[in-house]
Every structure is written in structure tokens, then in C-alpha cells.
Amino acid sequence: MRKNEHVSQPNGYKIIAVDDEEGIVDSLSIFLKRSGYSFTGVTDPIEAIERVKQEHFDLMILDFIMEPIHGDKVVEEIRKFNKELYILLLTGHKDLAPPLETIRKLDIQGYCEKSDKFDQLLLLIESGIKSIAQMNEIKRINIELANTYDKLEKAYLDSIETLRYTVEAKDPYTRGHSDRVSEYSVLIGEALSLSDDDIKTLRVGGLFHDIGKIGIPDAILLKESKLTDDEYSEIKNHPSIGAHILCNAEVFKDIIPIVKHHHERYDGRGYPSRLKGEDIPYLARITAVADAFDAMTSKRTYRNSLPLDVVKEEIEKNLGTQFDPEIGKVFLDILNNQYPKIEEIQKKYVNN
């Protein structure tokens, strides 16, 4: 090496160059290694696709006219499994470059003509590396934010779980109730082919649907005789109390409609808002069916659990009045054809 030649310190970025002319690859190797980049040169475009599958590269320099496949086909294959690789396309002649529409479609970040001098290419590479550095920083920040959000979410969940267990500890006859409602709601949601996000909302919403009972006096909640009208009015406040408890936590915004409206009726005679039909949030209508089923099949101080045939008749009778008819029919189908799943849930969360 001549004394006036300068080799930059390694900068940690990995570049792969693909060109079926070995001389171009060798020249790029010398030039880019001097500039501080970790360099891999490949003359076979098919091999290049496999290398990108197996290794991480930050940037690719890609010849357009190659055998056995052109550069645009290489990019097309790579984009099937890697959307982030920064790609610069080299063309031997400007008029042989792919159309702009193709470059945009394949998310090729830039291209330039081949030259004996690499000044223009180096500028494009440096610009690309800056973009990559920014994307990596954004990704790092997003990961940190996601981790922070997960920790906050867990803290909120733990806090509300404590309240939930406090509610169930107050009334031994409802112990396991929220867990079962959550599981039944998920069964219905899956039968309705709902999205994963909706299934998650149903699961969490079911767990916390009765959280508002923390604000109901024990004298009413644990009363064994018939409630007075005033006491029943007090009980009917628990959905609104629950929604109020959760309203300041962003993590619970999706389940608040379930918490607040799981006692609405399809005919509009429910509470607290007397919503009717499809005005009732869809996931709340699902939880309403699950909640009613568990209430009927759980033992209470004033009665034993109802027989399954009686419960099914009750659901059938109230389709279109208490229950959304479509959701009610789906749950009846589960009871008729997948009852072992119901029994499994009941065994898992035994009503003590």
C-alpha cells in the first residue's frame, strides 16, 4: 500500500455488491474496504439472494444487466422476505435502466451509471448509510417505547387484577365468574372468526367486566334475600363505575365498551344507557351472552345452577330481546356441538 493511501476505521455497516463482472466486484471491494465498510462481493445473482437470506446486510449494490437473472428479479425475490435492505442499482447505460415505475414498485432506493470513478456511488452510499442509521435509531426508540409500554401495561393490569380479585373475594359465589366469562367470550369470538385484536379485547374485557362492583356496598353485594328497588338500582351502577375506574388508562380504552355496556339488552331495556340493537358495542353483546350463561349455570345462595336444557331454552327464548340473535345462535351452536370445551372451562374455574 502506498503511504498516501488512507484506510478508514471500520464503521460497522455491511455492504454486499452483486455484479457478474468479477473486475467490478474486485474494484468495489478495494474502494469500499478503504472507506471503512465490511464488504461482501458476489458474482452470481442467485447466490446473492441466498446470502441475503442467511446474513444481515445494511446495503446492497446491484448490477442491473446480469445472467442468469437481471437485477430487478433479484430485488423482487429479496423483497419477498426482506423489506428493509437498502438497495442501489448500477446500470451500464442510462437507457438500459429499469423504468421508474419498476424502481418504485420494488422499493429500490437509488441507481447510478457505472463509472471508472466511484465518487457518485460513494455519495449515494453515504446518503443511504445516513438513512439506514436514522431507521435503526427510530427502530431502537420504538423498541424502547414498546418495552416501556409493555411495562406500563403490565403495571396497570396487575393493579386492576388486584381490584378484580378484591371484588371476587367479597363474594365467594362469584369467584371464577370473570375468568369463565372471559373464556366463553373468546369461544364465541373464535366461532365468529373475529380478528386476533378483537379476541384479545374479549379476553381482557371478560376478566374486568365486573370491576365496578368494587364500588358496590358489601351489604348489597352479599345480601341473600331479594334486593329492594333502591338496592337493585345501586347494583346497576357497577358498569358505569367500572368504566370510570378504567377511563384514565389508555391501555384499557378498547375494553371500556364491554365494561360499560355488557348489561344492555338488544331490545333497549338494559342498563346503564338503554342502548338498543346494533347501537350496543358488538363485543359487549358477545360478553352479555357469556355473562348471562355463567350467571345461569353458577350456584347462588338462593338457588342451584340451572340445568343445561333450561339454560338453552332461556337463551333461545330471549334471542332478539335480551340477546343479539346472531351471537345467541352462535353460542347455542357451541353449547350443542362443542360442550366439552364449556365443561373444560367450568372445571378450570370451579365456582366455590
Q: Which positions are catalytic?
A: 213
The full DSSP string for 194-260 is: --HHHHHHHHHHHHHTTGGGGGS-HHHHT--SPPPHHHHHHHTTHHHHHHHHHTT-GGGTTTHHHHH
Which DSSP helix (H) or strand (E) runs through 279? none
Give the span between the Cα atoms of 163 and 124, in whole angstroms: 58
Give the span between the Cα atoms of 152 and 195, in whole angstroms: 24
Which DSSP helix (H) or strand (E) runs through 154? helix 119-170
User: What are the Cα distances from residue 124, in Å, to 39, 86, 129, 131, 322?
Assistant: 16, 11, 9, 11, 66
For the CA atoms of 79, 100, 130, 86, the dihedral, rounded to the nearest 10 degrees, stands at 20
User: What are the Cα distances from residue 287, in Å, to 45, 117, 186, 268, 332?
Assistant: 55, 69, 9, 16, 14
Residue found by looking up cell 443511504 in the block? 128
Question: Which phi and psi angles does 337 have, rounded to 5°?
Answer: -120, -15
Residue found by looking up cell 446470502 in the block? 51
Q: Would you say how long the chain is, in residues?
A: 352
Question: Which phi and psi angles does 306 have, rounded to 5°?
Answer: -80, 145
Q: What is the DSSP letter of 308?
A: H
CA 63, 66, 70: angle at the middle one, nearest 5?
85
CA 19, 21, 23: angle at the middle one, nearest 5?
115
